[in-house]
Structure 1
Amino acid sequence: MISVSPIPHTEPPRDCPLCPRLVALRHACQAEHPDWWNAPVAAFGDADAWLGIIGLAPGKHGANRTGRPFTGDYAGDLLFATLAKFGLSNDRYESDLGDGLALSGVVIINSVKCLPPQNKPTPQEINTCRRFLTAQIAALPRLRVFVALGRIAHDSFLRHWGHRLADHPFGHGAVHDLGEGRVLIDSYHCSRYNTNTGRLTAAMFEDVFARACKLRDERLA
């Protein structure tokens, strides 16, 4: 398997040593599932993207297995179906790197590149990995609208820009003007847990991307 990143020069190496706890889990997964990706998961999408989707981290049986963000688990089913509905992909998602999926105007970047235990990175791990988020946003100068999937993504993204979290409280559907023509929209994460409990519905998720497309039309016209 190879990286699918549109900006490969900004990615960490496959054997990134920066977070000891994540390295230990990576090695354990490599021993248990030697045919999985089991490495930092690269950004995925369009090098000319106007919309940046900021995720949390790879899921064990999703991106950590396949090597592509949100690929192979329920969160990807909902995310990629929603992107297709708004014309932001070629609608070829089949949970496999060989599906031919391509995004249009969109890039997906995780706040943490490696699988964390129990899907819960520590604050130190989030801070350590932010260097890659920063490099990737800088390498994609057309990005103007961002969607943060969950509070961790929201917080890490705001810290990247140097904004005070207290000035931009997280809330599903909240829109934050970051200045210089950039806007952040919050969404609950599209996890199976959130959808099964009714915290997030498909309609709520679609509303976030409808707002993103409206902002695109206003700011990139």
Structure 2
Amino acid sequence: MTLPHPATGDPFPSPVPPGTGWPGDPADADTPVATTAAGVRRLSRRVLLDELDARVSVCRACPRLVAWREDVAATKRASFAAEPYWGRPIPGWGAPRPRVLIVGLAPAANGGNRTGRIFTGDRSGDWLVASLHRVGLATQATSLHAADGLELVDTRMVAAVRCAPPQNKPTPQERDTCAPWLDAELALVEPWLRVAVALGRFGWDAALRAFAARGYAVPRPRPRFGHGAEALLSAPAGPDGPGREVLLLGSYHPSQQNTFTGTLTEEMLDGVLGRAAAAARMAG
């Protein structure tokens, strides 16, 4: 899929500069850029969701991740050599008022880092979106590129770390530097949220940390990750009555390692996402 620039008809450069017309690009040349962990904390505060997405998409706070994602975008995988690569952080994507939030690890180097949309353009995305479609949370079964017409139904996807990391392994420092983006996004979608689905142990731990940062009570002992694991997270009670509750569900990540070996099957993934869809509906 070779995307032409809408104005010039020329191919997009790799990485894609903000404000050049890439489908769904939330940023422009004036979007402020975080270059340090302190900058992430400052720029993630007191903004609306569209502006948060824009600021996420130009973040440069982790030098190792910036170098890696941009090198991948410049060198490219041979099978995608003719395509432009996004080569920037990946903002959250989907419904702005979601009832279901899906929390993954990080974009894939030749998936989201190429297409500019989380869980798009790789086998993990193929598995996840096909399952979301089967349980009624996506309008189509494929996620190919940022202009393919896919919409999520009452669902939003986020990554705990917004840049593609080498070997899919961000460092603890990179995880912590990126965490305010997730914390801020959770705060913005929280009023509508009923269910969170964590893909893999990394997503599970990131979700628990983010909800705890919002003041939610996490059960003790701390819930352990597993496929089909469940934990009910409760917000503090207020003057209007009991606090809200969000159901956290765990699923094995739809990585090639898990799907090729049968560690995760379509039926297993449909079971967790179907449970999320049903719980979101029942919550009213």
Per the normalisation by structure 1, the TM-score is 0.92
Preserved contact between residue 194 and residue 279 of structure 2 (Cα < 8 Å): no
- Would you say 1:134 and 2:183 are equivalent positions? yes
Aligned to 1:211: 275
Show structure 1 runs of 5+ residues with no match.
Answer: none
What is the aligned counterpart of 2:100 among 51, 61, 67? 51
Aligned to 1:149: 199
Kindly state the Cα deviation for residue 164 of structure 1 after the two structures are TM-superposed.
Answer: 7.6
Per the normalisation by structure 2, the TM-score is 0.73
Which string of whole-angstrom CA distances, capped at 9 and with x for unpartnered residues, describes residues 167-199 of structure 1?
A: 111011011011121110000001111011111
Identity of aligned residues (%): 40
Partner of 1:148: helix, strand, or coil? strand
Q: Distance in 2 between matches of 1:166 and 1:95?
A: 41
Preserved contact between residue 146 and residue 185 of structure 1 (Cα < 8 Å): yes
Alignment of 1:63-212 (within 5 A): 63-91=112-140, 93-140=142-189, 141-162=191-212, 163=218, 167-179=222-234, 180-212=244-276
Preserved contact between residue 69 and residue 113 of structure 2 (Cα < 8 Å): no
Are the structure 2 counterparts of residues 31 and 103 from structure 1 closer, same or farther at C-alpha, using a change threshold of 3 Å?
Answer: same
Which string of whole-angstrom CA distances, capped at 9 and with x for unpartnered residues, describes residues 75-95 of structure 1?
A: 111111111111212116351
Show structure 2 runs of 5+ residues with no match.
Answer: 1-21, 27-47, 77-82, 213-217, 235-243
Preserved contact between residue 69 and residue 109 of structure 2 (Cα < 8 Å): no
Larger Rg: 2
Which string of whole-angstrom CA distances, capped at 9 and with x for unpartnered residues, describes residues 139-178 of structure 1?
A: 1120120000000011011111224895111011011011
Q: Distance in 1 between matches of 2:64 and 2:120?
A: 24
Kindly state the Cα deviation for residue 14 of structure 1 after the two structures are TM-superposed.
Answer: 4.0
Report how many residues are paired: 220
Partner of 1:167: helix, strand, or coil? coil
Q: Distance in 2 between matches of 1:174 and 1:183?
A: 10
State the Cα RMSD in Å. Answer: 2.0
Which string of whole-angstrom CA distances, capped at 9 and with x for unpartnered residues, describes residues 97-150 of structure 1?
A: 221111110000010000100111111111111111111111112012000000
- Would you say 1:23 and 2:73 are equivalent positions? no
Aligned to 2:84: 35
The residue identity in structure 2 corresponding to 1:136 is: E
The residue identity in structure 1 corresponding to 2:207 is: F
Kindly state the Cα deviation for residue 210 of structure 1 after the two structures are TM-superposed.
Answer: 1.6
The residue identity in structure 2 corresponding to 1:193 is: Q
